[in-house]
Amino acid sequence: MRRAVLWARLGRVPYGEALELQRYLHRLRCCGEVGDLVLSLEHDPVITLGRSADPRHVLADPLALEAAGVEVVPVERGGDVTYHGPGQLVIYPVVDLRGWGRRLRWYVWALEEVMLRVADAYGITAARVPGRPGIWVGDEKLGAVGVYVRRWVTMHGLALNVDPVPDGFRWIVPCGIHGAGATSLARLLGRPIGVREVEERAMEAFGEVFGASVARVRPEEIGAVTAG
Amino acid sequence: MADIVVPPLGGVEEVRVVRWLREVGDEVHAGEAVAEVEAEKATFVIEAPVGGRLYAILVPEGKTAAPGDVIGKIEEASG
C-alpha cells in the first residue's frame, strides 16, 4: 500500500516562522498526533548556519546583510552555510522514517533524487557528487539538502534553486565549498521560470520516490497557522 | 551504568559527534536529547536511554563514531 502524505503549500514564509511551524509539527508527528506531511514554500532572504557551519563561510559584512534585510540564523540541520530566498523552492518533509525502513542515507539520497527528477523534467542533467550532498551541474550547485532527525521524524529538507536572485549566493561560500558556485533552473534554461510549476513537479517526484500518495491540503488542515 | 549508543542508521558507516547537549555530571532524563551526530548533511539526535547522571563522554565533539559504538555512559538514578 502506498503511504499517504499530506502536502501543504505555504507560499512565502519568513524563515523563523517556518522553523517554529516545523518544530511544532515535528513534536506532533513524534507523538503520532499528525501523519506524515510535507511543507513547500519560499523564504524571505536568509542565511542559515547548519551544525557544522564555519562562520567564515558567510562572506558578506554583517552590516550589509542587515541593511539588505537578510537574517543570519543558526539551525539544527546538518551541513554548513546556505542561503534561502525568493525564487528558491524549499520542501520540508515532516515524516517518520520508521515508515521507510529507518534508512537515513536513503532519505538524503531520496531528497536528492526528487530534485534530480525535477531537473530532468526540464531537460537538465544534474548529478550527485560524492562527498558533496545536494545536486550539481558541473561545479555549480542547483539544489541543497540539510536534514534533522529525532525519533526518526524528520525536519528541514531540500532547497532547489528555481529562479533566485543571484546576489544571495555571493554572500556565502555555499556549503563551505570554496570555488563552488550556485546555479538555478532559470539560468540553465535561459528563461524565467515560476516556483509554482516547479513545486507541482517536485511533489509529483516526491510521490514517486517515496512511493507515497500525496494529497494537497490547506495549511490550516494540518494544524498549521501560517502567514497569509 | 547504561551505554549511550549510536543506533543503526541505515547505510551510514560513520558519524561525527557535532554536539553534546549535556555535560559530564549533568542530570539527564530518559528520552532527553543528549547528543547530536551528523552524517551526510543529516543531523541525528541521540537520546538518553535511561534517566540518571551523565557519567562519561567517550567520543567528544568533532570526533567520529560508527553505528553501534558507545559514545557516552549514564549512571542510572537509584530507586
Whether B56 has a pLDDT exceeding 90, the answer reads yes
Our measurement of the distance from residue A173's CA atom to the centroid of its chain's CA atoms, rounded to an integer in Å, reads 18
**pLDDT value at residue A175:** 64
**pLDDT value at residue A179:** 65
Per-residue model confidence as pLDDT tens digits over A100-142: 999 999 999 999 999 999 999 999 999 999 888 899 999 999 9
Q: What is the mean pLDDT of residues B45-69?
A: 97
Whether B79 has a pLDDT exceeding 70, the answer reads no
Show Cβ contacts of residue A73 under 8 Å, excluding neighbours closer than 6 positions: A15, A16, A19, A46, A47, A48, A49
Confidence band for A1, pLDDT divided at 50, 70 and 90: low
Comparing B40 with A10, the larger pLDDT belongs to A10
Residues of chain A in contact with residue B42, where contact means CB-CB under 8 angstroms, are 78, 104, 107-108, 147-149
Q: What average pLDDT does the structure give for chain A?
A: 91
User: Which residue out of A23, A105, A128 would a mutagenesis test of the B interface target, given it has the greatest number of B Cβ atoms within 10 Å?
Assistant: A105
By mean pLDDT, which of A170-174, A176-180, B35-39 is the weakest? A176-180
Q: Do B9 and A52 count as a contact with CB atoms less than 8 A apart? A: no
Q: Closest approach of chain B CAs to the CA of A78, in angstroms?
A: 4
Show Cβ contacts of residue B73 under 8 Å, excluding neighbours closer than 6 positions: B1, B2, B3, B4, B54, B55, B56, B58
Whether A226 has a pLDDT exceeding 60, the answer reads no
Q: Do B8 and A102 count as a contact with CB atoms less than 8 A apart? A: yes
**pLDDT value at residue A170:** 80
Cell of A176: 563551505
Instruction: Give the number of other Cβ atoms within 10 Å of residue A147's Cβ.
Output: 29
ipTM: 0.93
Q: Which of A105, A146, A150 minimises the CB distance to B10? A: A105
Q: Which of B12, B16, B43 minimises the CB distance to A148? A: B43
Q: Which of B8, B11, B43 minimises the CB distance to A106? A: B11
Q: Do A77 and B36 count as a contact with CB atoms less than 8 A apart? A: no
Per-residue model confidence as pLDDT tens digits over A53-95: 888 888 888 888 888 889 999 888 877 888 999 999 999 999 9
